[in-house]
């Protein structure tokens, strides 16, 4: 078990290192000259030289790379051009908003997805199953950015029931979190339905029923525990996916003051240090989440440990 | 005995639960491909040519609408219907481009990984793990920052990022196929490894590959459209549904048709691909679980 965890941690660390390297080389070796981008139009060649010196861009690439790694290790990822503050600090100031919205959407998706999925599997072809399948299909086929815009159009512009932008009251959460949880709900419903169907067909469920275990326990304890492994991967994947992918789109539509909107603004303002720190931070979150899932797996399913 | 009986009963009820023939899906795909193939014939106007005198005309069923522009016009007076019809080409081009790109990488790596086994297999699968922990949108941000946003950047990004899923599934199939007699016979007959991989094993996993492609194409259309919506993909004045939505979003309060119809076009297309993909999987590969 310890060996397994150690191996996973090493792999995670290697992944982060690899991403740091890739990020460095993509941003440095691209055709865009960062100094030219940062300078105002009326800058003199002297300014350009100063700036090049300041960022150490005149040094050989390998020296730059080791400096970058050293600074990254200390948590220094450069300074934001727009805010003139450390890029990491700028990111962390906006992160709580993303985390709050992500958590709300995550809880909604897991609750709705799991319960609809389980009920659908227990009573196939029932009313709820039909609704569940329809919701799953809709969630897979409706683009979240369009749903967001349509929600704004309907509830914000036409009916004027809900605020269309920003963060403040509880009402501000409704549309963005609905929009964000649409796809995850579909995914969780489909997956939990199919793995529950498999589990309910198995011999141990038949055995439990023969023993006279109450149906409620059969479903939740015997069947669900075994059906939960594939669902768990997806659920954790969804959490990091929500914070990364959907956050950018949904925050952009609803002007939510989180990191997704920050990175869009920084991208359009060519504030590359912030974009860069966003990339690294997100990878860090995803890798950590994957690590946690791997460890939880090993606890739930002993077979994985001994592979 | 009870077990046997139960199994039989299950088999009879399966088609009732599954989708028999996806008429809705076929219908949606039919519309989509009609638009793609006959775009120049069906579209009433040139999608790029605007007429500022007829800007923001609402669709025909609204009061000020006119039959000349069934779905209305945008700010520059371009016909929305024509732009949507021509947009189908862009979305097919981008999504098929992505799938062909990463599909070929994924299939090749999966075949090598499954067939060679050993250290090669381990390295490729570790690489797949590493790749999966890097979200595609992040890579898009980096590439778009450096190379500028365009349809090419999108295809490149998803092309580089999408292969691990394919590689894993192809590897799994390959592992079981390589123990089969026909592969052993091919080896005895002296076929090269390359030949066994590509002309003996590959045709046998074509089914799986086609199913995966059909299922994934819907998701890819949504993804690429949302990237264009964010301004990271295709740039004006090209006709792209995501881009049309982004342009229309500014005028949402008084020209809602500019965001409604491009979105509906995406929904119809994606629905068509998803329903058809599910159906294909059901008939070609019933054992594979719904993801």
In this complex, do B144 and A287 lie within 8 Å of one another by their Cβ atoms?
A: no
Nearest CA distance, B184 vs chain A (angstrom): 27
The CB-side HSE value for B13 (13 A sphere, CA atoms) comes to 8
Identify the band that residue A306 occupies on the pLDDT scale cut at 50, 70 and 90: low
How far apart are the C-alpha atoms of B270 and B226, rounded to whole Å? 13
Are the C-beta atoms of residues B207 and B255 closer than 8 Å to each other? Answer: no
SS (H, E, C) B216-243: HHHHHHHHHHHHHHHCCCCCCCCCCHHH
- Between chains, do B230 and A245 touch, taking CB under 8 Å as contact? no
User: What DSSP line would sit under A147-204, residue for residue?
Assistant: HHHHHIIIIIIIS--S--SS--STHHHHHHHHHHHHHHHHHHHHHHHHHHHHHHHSHH
Q: pLDDT, tens digit, for every residue of A10-25?
A: 888 888 888 888 888 8
d(CA A250, CA A144): 8
Q: Among B138, B143, B231, whose Cβ lies nearest the Cβ of A282?
A: B138
Residue B15 has what pLDDT? Answer: 46
The Cα of B21 is separated from the nearest Cα of chain A by a number of Å equal to 16
Determine what percent of chain A is predicted with pLDDT higher than 70: 93
User: How far apart are the two ends of chain B, measured CA to CA in Å?
Assistant: 32
A274 in contact with B at a CB cutoff of 8 Å?
no
Residues in chain A within 8 Å Cβ distance of B289: 194-195, 198
Query: CA B153 to CA A125: how far, in whole Å?
Result: 44
Kindly tell me if the per-residue pLDDT of A152 is higher than 80: yes
* Structural domain includes residue B265: yes
Number of domains in chain B: 1
Interchain CB contact of A290 with B (< 8 Å): yes
**Is A249 part of the contact surface with chain B (CB cutoff 8 Å)?**
yes
Per the CB < 8 Å rule, is B267 touching A142?
yes
Q: Chain A contacts of B17, Cβ < 8 Å? A: 124-125
Does the beta carbon of A190 lie under 8 angstroms from any beta carbon of chain B?
A: yes
Residue A192 confidence (pLDDT) above 50? yes
Distance CA A103, CA A262 (A): 19
Instruction: Give the A:B interface size as CB pairs under 8 Å.
Output: 128
- Tell whether the model's pLDDT for residue B269 goes beyond 90: yes
Q: Let me know if residue B94 belongs to a domain.
A: yes
pLDDT, averaged across chain A: 82
The reported pLDDT for the residue numbered B109 is 92
User: Which of A41-55, A206-220, A293-307 has the lowest average pLDDT?
Assistant: A293-307
**Chain A CB within 8 Å of residue B122 CB:** no
Query: Residue B107 has what pLDDT?
Result: 92
Angstrom CA distances, A80 to A4, A69, A216, stand at: 39, 18, 55
- Check CB contact under 8 Å for B263 and A157: no
Look at residue B51 and tell me if it is in a domain. no
Tens-digit pLDDT profile for residues A252-275 = 888 888 888 888 888 888 777 888
Chain A closest CA to B223's CA: distance in Å?
Answer: 8
Q: What is chain B's mean pLDDT, rounded?
A: 82
pLDDT digits (tens, 9 = 90+) for A120-131: 888 888 888 888
Phi, psi of B76 (to 5 degrees): -90, 10
Q: Which domains does chain A have, with CATH numbers?
A: 2-73 (no CATH), 90-305 (1.10.3720.10)
> What's the pLDDT tens digit per position in A49-84?
877 777 777 777 788 888 888 888 888 888 887 888
Highest mean pLDDT among A74-83, A223-232, B95-104: B95-104
CA B144 – CA A270 distance, rounded (Å): 11
Tell me, yes or no, if A207 comes closer than 8 A to chain B by beta carbon: no
Q: What percentage of chain B exceeds 90 in pLDDT?
A: 13
Q: Which range, of A102-111, A205-214, A290-299, averages the lowest pLDDT?
A: A290-299
Q: What CATH number does residue B173 fall under?
A: 1.10.3720.10
Which residue is closest to B268 within chain A, CA to CA? A141
Terminal CA-to-CA distance of chain A, rounded, Å? 11
| B50 in a structural domain | no
The predicted structure's pLDDT at residue B104: 92
Of residues A45 and A100, which shows the higher confidence score?
Answer: A100
Task: Tell me, yes or no, whether B103 lies in a domain.
Answer: yes
Interface membership of B125 toward A (CB under 8 Å) = no
The answer to whether position B49 is within a domain reads: no
Among residues A151, A141, A137, the alpha carbon closest in space to that of A179 is found at A151
pLDDT at B177 over 80: yes
DSSP conformation class of B57: P
Q: What is the DSSP string of chain A?
A: -HHHHHHHHHHHHHHHHHHHHHHHHHHHHSSS-HHHHHS-TT--HHHHHHHHHHTTTTS-HHHHHHHHHHHHHTT---B-TTT-SBHHHHHHHHHHHHHHHHHHHHHHHHHHHHHHHHHHHHSTTSHHHHHHHHHHHHHHHS-HHHHHHHHIIIIIIIS--S--SS--STHHHHHHHHHHHHHHHHHHHHHHHHHHHHHHHSHHHHHHHHHT--HHHIIIIIIHHHHHHHHHHHHHHHHHHIIIIIHHHHHHHHT--SHHHHHHHHHHTT-HHHHHHHHHHHHHHHHHHHHHHHHHHHHH-HHHHT-
What's the CA gap between B166 and B187, in Å, rounded? 25
Q: Flag whether residue A149 sits within 8 Å of chain B, measured between CB atoms.
A: yes
- With a CB cutoff of 8 Å and minimum separation 6, the contacts of B134 are A19, A22, A283, A286, B161
Q: Domain of residue B235: give its range.
A: 24-36+67-284
Would you say residue B289 lies in a domain? no
Chain A residue numbers with beta carbons less than 8 Å from the beta carbon of B84 are none
B142-162 per-position pLDDT tens digit: 788 777 888 888 888 888 888
Residue A298 sits at the chain B interface (C-beta within 8 Å): no
User: How many residues appear in chain A?
Assistant: 307
- pLDDT value of position B1: 42
Query: Taking CB atoms and an 8 Å cutoff, what residues of chain B touch A241?
Result: 135
Q: Which residues of B touch A149 (CB under 8 A)?
A: 245, 249, 252, 259, 263
Does the distance separating the beta carbons of B143 and A143 come in below 8 Å? no
Predicted pLDDT at A223? 84
Query: Angle B229-B235-B240 (CA atoms, 0-180°, nearest 5)?
Result: 60
Judge if ipTM > 0.85: no
| A150 contact B CB<8A | yes
pLDDT tens, position by position, B208-266: 888 888 888 888 898 888 888 888 888 888 888 989 998 888 888 888 888 889 999 99
pLDDT computed for residue B122 by the predictor: 86
Distance between CA atoms of B240 and B229, rounded to whole angstroms? 9
CB B99 within 8 A of CB B210: no
Residues of B in contact with A20 (CB under 8 A): none
Q: The pTM is what?
A: 0.83
B112 lies in a domain? yes
């Amino acid at each position: 078990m310890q060996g397994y965890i150690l191996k996973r941690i090493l792999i995670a660390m290697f992944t982060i290192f690899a991403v740091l390297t890739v990020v460095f080389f993509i941003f440095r070796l691209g055709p865009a000259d960062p100094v030219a981008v940062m300078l105002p139009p009326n800058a003199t060649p002297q300014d350009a030289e100063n700036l090049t010196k300041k960022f150490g861009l005149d040094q050989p690439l390998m020296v730059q790379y080791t400096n970058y790694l050293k600074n990254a290790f200390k948590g220094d990822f450069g300074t934001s051009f727009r805010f003139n503050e450390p890029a990491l600090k700028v990111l962390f100031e906006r992160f709580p908003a993303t985390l709050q919205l992500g958590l709300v959407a995550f809880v909604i998706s897991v609750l709705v997805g799991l319960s609809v999925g389980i009920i659908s599997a227990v009573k196939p072809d029932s009313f709820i199953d039909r609704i569940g399948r329809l919701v799953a299909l809709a969630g897979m086929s409706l683009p979240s950015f369009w749903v967001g815009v349509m929600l704004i159009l309907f509830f914000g512009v036409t009916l004027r029931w809900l605020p269309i932008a920003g963060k403040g009251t509880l009402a501000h959460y409704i549309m963005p979190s609905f929009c964000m949880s649409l796809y995850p709900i579909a995914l969780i419903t489909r997956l939990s339905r199919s793995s529950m169907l498999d589990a309910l067909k198995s011999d141990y469920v038949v055995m439990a029923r023969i023993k006279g275990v109450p149906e409620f326990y059969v479903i939740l304890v015997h069947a669900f525990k075994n059906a939960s492994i594939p669902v768990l991967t997806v659920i954790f994947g969804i959490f990091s996916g929500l914070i990364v992918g959907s956050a950018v789109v949904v925050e952009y539509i609803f002007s939510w003051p989180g990191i997704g909107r920050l990175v869009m603004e920084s991208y359009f303002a060519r504030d590359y240090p912030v974009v860069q720190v966003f990339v690294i931070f997100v990878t860090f979150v995803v890798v950590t989440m994957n690590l946690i899932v791997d460890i939880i797996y090993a606890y739930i399913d002993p077979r994985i440990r001994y592979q | 005995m009870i077990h046997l009986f139960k199994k039989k009963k299950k088999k009879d009820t399966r088609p009732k639960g599954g989708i028999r023939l996806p008429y809705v899906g076929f219908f949606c795909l039919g519309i989509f491909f009609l638009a793609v193939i006959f775009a120049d014939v069906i579209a009433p106007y040139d999608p790029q040519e605007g007429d500022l005198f007829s800007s923001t005309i609402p669709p025909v069923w609204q009061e000020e609408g006119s039959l000349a522009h069934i779905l209305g016009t945008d700010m520059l007076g371009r016909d929305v219907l024509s732009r949507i019809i021509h947009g189908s080409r862009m979305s097919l081009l981008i999504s098929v481009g992505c799938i062909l790109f990463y599909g070929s990488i994924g299939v090749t790596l999966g075949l090598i990984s499954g067939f060679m086994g050993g250290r090669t297999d381990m390295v490729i699968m570790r690489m797949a793990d590493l790749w999966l922990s890097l979200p595609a949108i992040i890579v898009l941000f980096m590439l778009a920052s450096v190379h500028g946003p365009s349809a090419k950047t999108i295809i490149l990004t998803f092309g580089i990022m999408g292969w691990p899923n394919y590689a894993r599934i192809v590897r799994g199939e390959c592992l079981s196929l390589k123990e089969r007699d026909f592969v052993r016979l091919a080896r005895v007959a002296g076929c090269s490894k390359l030949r066994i991989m590509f002309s003996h094993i590959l045709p046998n996993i074509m089914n799986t590959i086609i199913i995966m492609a059909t299922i994934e194409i819907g998701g890819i259309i949504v993804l690429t459209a949302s990237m264009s919506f964010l301004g990271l993909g295709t740039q004006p004045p090209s006709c792209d549904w995501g881009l049309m939505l982004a342009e229309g979003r500014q005028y949402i309060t008084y020209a809602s048709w500019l965001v409604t119809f491009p979105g509906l076009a995406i929904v119809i297309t994606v629905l068509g691909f998803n329903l058809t993909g599910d159906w294909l999987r059901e008939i070609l590969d019933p054992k594979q679980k719904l993801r």
